[in-house]
Amino acid sequence: MPNILVIEDDEIMLKAIKNILNKEGFNVITAKDGKEAFEMMDNATYDIVITDLMLPHTSGLEVVSRLRNHESTKNVGIIVVSSVGNEETITEAFQLGADDYLKKPIMATELLIRIRKLIADKNIKTQFFTKKK
C-alpha cells in the first residue's frame, strides 16, 4: 500500500485523517508541524503528502514548494487540506504544485476518492513512461 504523510497541527483532525486512512490499509505517518514534516521527508519516501496550510514553523505552501523543487519528491501526490478558502491561497497552492485541494471540514469518502485518483494517475504516468523507454 502507498505511504502517506499527513501534516496537520490540529490533533483531532490528525487522528481523524489517520484513522480514515488506516482503515483503508494505507501506511500513514504523521507530522504535527512543518519542521517535523521536513525531517520525515528527508528520511523516508512517500507516495502522497496531505498537508494543512496553517502550520507551526512553516506553512503548507512551503511544504508544497519544497516537495516540487527536490528531485526525489517532485512526483509525490500532494493534497492540501485547509480551512483557508480564499481564491488567492488556493490558486497559490496549485501554482506551487499541489495536485488537489480540500476545504475543511473534510468528508472521509471524498478524501479517499481523491487519494485513489492520485494513486491511479501516478500509476498511469509510471506505466506510460516505462513503456516509452
SS3 106: coil
Mean pLDDT of 126-132: 53
Mean pLDDT of 11-40: 96
pLDDT at 132: 52
Q: How far is CA 103 from CA 2, 52, 69, 97, 107, in A?
A: 23, 10, 25, 17, 9
Query: What DSSP string runs through 70-104?
Result: STTTTT-EEEEEES---HHHHHHHHHHT-SEEEES
Task: State yes or no: pLDDT of 131 exceeds 70.
Answer: no
C-alpha cell at position 44? 523516508
pLDDT at 126: 57
When the candidates are 3.50.50.60, 3.30.70.20, 3.40.50.2300, 3.40.50.300, the CATH number that belongs to 3-132 is 3.40.50.2300
Task: State yes or no: pLDDT of 19 exceeds 60.
Answer: yes
Residue-wise pLDDT for 32-81, tens only, equals 999 999 999 999 999 999 999 999 999 999 999 999 999 989 999 999 99
